[in-house]
Amino acid sequence: MTTNPVETHGLGKRYGGTVAVRDLDLTVRPGEVYGFLGPNGAGKTTTLRMLLGLIRPTSGGVRLFGAPPGPGSLRHVGALVEGPAFYPYLSGRRNLAVLADHAGVPRSRAGTALARVGLTGRAGDRYSGYSLGMKQRLGLAAALLKEPRLLVLDEPTNGLDPAGMAEMRRTIRALADGGCTVLLSSHLLAEVEQICDRVGVLHGGRLVAESTVEELRTGGALRVVAGPEDRARDRVVALLGAERVRADDGGALLVDVERDQAPRVNAELVRAGVDVHELCWSEPDLERRFLELTGGDPDVA
Amino acid sequence: MWRDVRAELAKQAYRPASWLLLAIGVVLSATFAHAVPYAGYRGAASGAPGAGRGLAEMLPAQFAGNAIAGTPVFVGALALIFGVLVAGGEYGYATWKTVLVQQPSRATVYTAKLVTVAVGALLLVLALLAVSAAASAVIAALEDQPGGWPSGTAVLRGAGAGWLVTTMWGTLGVLLAVALRSVALPVGLGLVWLLAVQNLLAAIAAPLLDWVAALQKGLPGANAGSLVAALGAPTGTPGVAPLVGAGQAALVVAGYLAGFALLAGWLLRARDLD
């Protein structure tokens, strides 16, 4: 049986009277890209720090490849947590050489990792002179030093320009395609949508949803643009009930029905003499779903 | 473990502040243990600290004692700053997480840091000995005096005592950095203790209050001063006074070193790294 790269059971962290994470059961399966989604302050970074042994849970436990966080299990883990942090007076290459020593891998891996993130040309420059994007890429290079089987990335595209974000996402996807499991924390819905296989939504320290991106977006509605609007609404309500009909921001009707009921709705409207201008299936976007799950927390991009 | 030591040594070797501290230590020692006393002897700096010292105290026979005379206070302060930088830098740069996610245990990295402090202290003491030996040889040549050097055993004992004292102060720096999880505050508090509180206790409180005088004999600075005094450091130097015997002083300084190291290690292991 294959051991899951990450498993938590009843994981919790309390700071005095504040509960940062509560009763978290999380499983990241081998080879998947798991998106850890949540608004700022939801407990994402606290959870990642517990996974990596930087902070101790106040309840529950963590297993990385079946073992508690520690030198043994971290041998297979690369991580970038809460932004890159390096020694400013050392060059990028020297920073990675020092970390290679700590990781117990050959210093030559520094050059390979730098090439992988496209920093070879600036490897000899001091870290203090790096742009935010370069620092972020050096952070990813450090996470790749051990050629990890599990990559834990906390908001890895922070500070990157659009091209840099796209490149970072391509790199992460390529690593995953190469067999590396990725646990990616983000509050960027588009990012999660693009590269993640499964998503866990954290809110107020709790896991409020966990599914594939597709599943998270199920529950689409039939979008109807018809006139007169009042008459159209009355007919659909008469047909399906008021609880299944709502209006969107543009005045169109959103009807909660199965896809195969669309012709029936159309026929009813036509029969009633309503002009049907548009009838289409509306996929719910991830942002709407996310806002529903997190109670409309605005702190999300 | 040794790769962690290599990593820690590299961090400090490439850090300009480490070499600045070494240079300051050497310049301070050369200035106040040799240049000023010699200028005083030649009549050019009467009234300056150490200016009344006789020629015999500046000659090669006394070089080891002169070299370690600053370790209870001024050189000790530099060692304390080095210790704070070694441990506190990880808090200041937020690099604990960067290091620890690479796999090493906290205990391994911490031990590597203590080894780095000890190596840095040894380099500092060896540099002080070299400068002191060179300065005393120059003075002997200028004054046409015989260059009688101390025995190898005496030099080794002086070096060992200086190393013990500077490592103890460096370890106090590590403890303050871990306890306060920063750099600036530990340096400030450490220097206040070393340069102000210790001197106030010795110069003002101890002569007036018997219990302070008794208490002082158990403090790290007083024992460091007693240890180097027993090994030839001039007693006019700040912090150098034979308050207790050399054996007790060595044991107490070693005890403080071990105590600081254990307490800092326990704190680092017990607390979360945010």
Mark out chain B residues that contact chain A at CB-CB < 8 A. 3-4, 6-7, 10-11, 14-16, 89, 93-105, 108-109, 272-274
Helix (H) / strand (E) element for A141: namely helix A132-144
- Grade residue B53 by pLDDT with cuts at 50, 70 and 90: low
How many angstroms away from the CA of A149 is the closest CA of chain B? 13
Is the ipTM reported for this complex over the cut 0.90?
no
User: Which positions ≥6 away from B20 have C-beta within 8 Å?
Assistant: none
Give the domain CATH number at A261.
3.30.70
Structural domain including A241 reads 221-283
CB contact under 8 A, A70 and B11: no
Burial of A129 (C-beta count, 10 Å sphere; 0-12/13-18/19+): exposed
Report the side by side order of strands in the sheet with A253-255: A245-247, A253-255, A221-227, A275-282
Judging contacts by C-beta atoms under 8 Å, the chain B residues touching residue A98 are 7, 10-11
As a whole number, mean pLDDT of residues A215-237 equals 82
Q: List chain A residues with CB under 8 Å of B97.
A: 49, 52, 54, 81-82, 85
Q: A83 and A126: one domain? A: yes
Q: A201, A216, A231 — which closes off a domain?
A: A216
What is the rounded average pLDDT of the residues A271-286?
A: 81
- Say yes or no: A71 contacts chain B, CB-CB below 8 A: yes
> Which of A244-248, A264-268, B76-80 has the lowest average pLDDT?
A244-248
Contacts of B16 in chain A (CB under 8 A): 89
Answer yes or no: do A139 and A259 share one domain.
no
Backbone angles phi, psi at A74, to 5 degrees: -75, -10
Same-domain check for residues A143 and A116: yes
Do A168 and A248 fall into the same domain?
Answer: no
A203 and A75 housed in the same domain: yes
Chain-chain contact of A102 with B89 (C-beta, under 8 angstroms): no
Q: Is residue B66 within 8 Å of residue B33, measured between CB atoms?
A: yes
**Which of A198, A216, A234 corresponds to the end of one domain?**
A216
* A19 within domain boundaries: yes
Q: Are residues A192 and A235 in the same domain?
A: no
Cα A202 to Cα A34, A172, A184, A208, A301, distances in angstroms: 13, 22, 13, 6, 15
Chain-chain contact of B11 with A54 (C-beta, under 8 angstroms): no
Q: Is residue A268 part of a domain?
A: yes
Q: Cα Rg for chain B, rounded, in angstroms?
A: 19
Q: What is the mean pLDDT of residues B122-126?
A: 95
- Specify whether A96 is located in the same domain as A160: yes
Q: Does a structural domain hold residue A294?
A: no
- Choosing among A48, A81, A98, A144, which should be mutated to test the B contact, i.e. which has the most B CBs within 10 A? A98
Interchain proximity B97–A85, CB inside 8 Å: yes
**Residue A300 structure tokens:** 């999300």
A49 vs A70, higher pLDDT:
A49
Q: A205 or B90: whose pLDDT is higher?
A: B90
Q: Is A122 on the interface with B (CB under 8 A)?
A: no
Tell me the Cα Rg of chain A: 24
Q: Which residues on A lie below 8 Å from B99 (Cβ)?
A: 99, 102
> Is residue B177 a contact partner of residue B87, using CB atoms and an 8 Å limit?
yes
Residues A157 and A251 in one domain: no
Q: What is the mean pLDDT of residues B22-27?
A: 94
CATH of the domain at A33: 3.40.50.300
Q: Is B190 exposed, middle or buried (0-12, 13-18, 19+ CB in 10 A)?
A: buried
Q: Is B49 exposed, middle or buried (0-12, 13-18, 19+ CB in 10 A)?
A: middle
Q: Do B15 and A89 touch (CB under 8 A)?
A: yes
* Stretch among A88-102, A258-272, B117-131 having the lowest mean pLDDT: A258-272
Rounded to 5°, the CA angle A32-A38-A39 comes to 155
- For residue A170, name the pLDDT band (cuts at 50, 70, 90): confident
The pLDDT confidence band at residue B160, using thresholds 50, 70 and 90, is very high
Position A261 in a domain: yes
Chain A residues closer than 8 Å to B268 by CB? none
User: What distance in Å separates the CA atoms of residue B127 and residue A155, rounded to the nearest whole number?
Assistant: 47
- Asked whether the predicted pLDDT for residue A300 surpasses 60, the reply is no
How many domains does the structure of chain A reveal? 2
Of A56, A77, A85, the CB nearest to B94: A85
What is the nearest CA distance from A71 to chain B, expressed in angstroms? 5
Of A71, A86, A152, the CB nearest to B95: A86
Is the domain of A76 the same as that of A183? yes
One-letter identity of residue B24: I
> Is any Cβ of chain B less than 8 angstroms from the Cβ of A67?
no
Q: Do residues A251 and A264 share a domain?
A: yes
Instruction: Give a yes or no: residue A293 inside a domain.
Output: no
- Judge whether A244 lies within some domain: yes
Strands (E), chain A: 6-15, 18-28, 33-37, 59-64, 77-80, 150-154, 181-186, 198-203, 206-212, 221-227, 245-247, 253-255, 275-282
Residues A91 and A168 reside in one and the same domain: yes
pLDDT tens figures, A180-193: 899 998 877 777 87
Sort strands A221-227 and A150-154 into parallel, antiparallel or unpaired.
unpaired
How many angstroms away from the CA of A239 is the closest CA of chain B?
58
| Measured distance CA(B164)–CA(B166) in Å, rounded | 6
Residue B8, pLDDT score: 95
- Regarding whether A200 and A273 lie in a shared domain, the answer is no
Q: Judge whether A159 lies within some domain.
A: yes
In a domain, A296, yes or no: no
Q: How far apart are CA B91 and CA B274, in angstroms?
A: 9
Mean pLDDT score, A71-81: 87
User: Are residues A59 and A76 in contact, defined by beta-carbon separation less than 8 angstroms?
Assistant: no
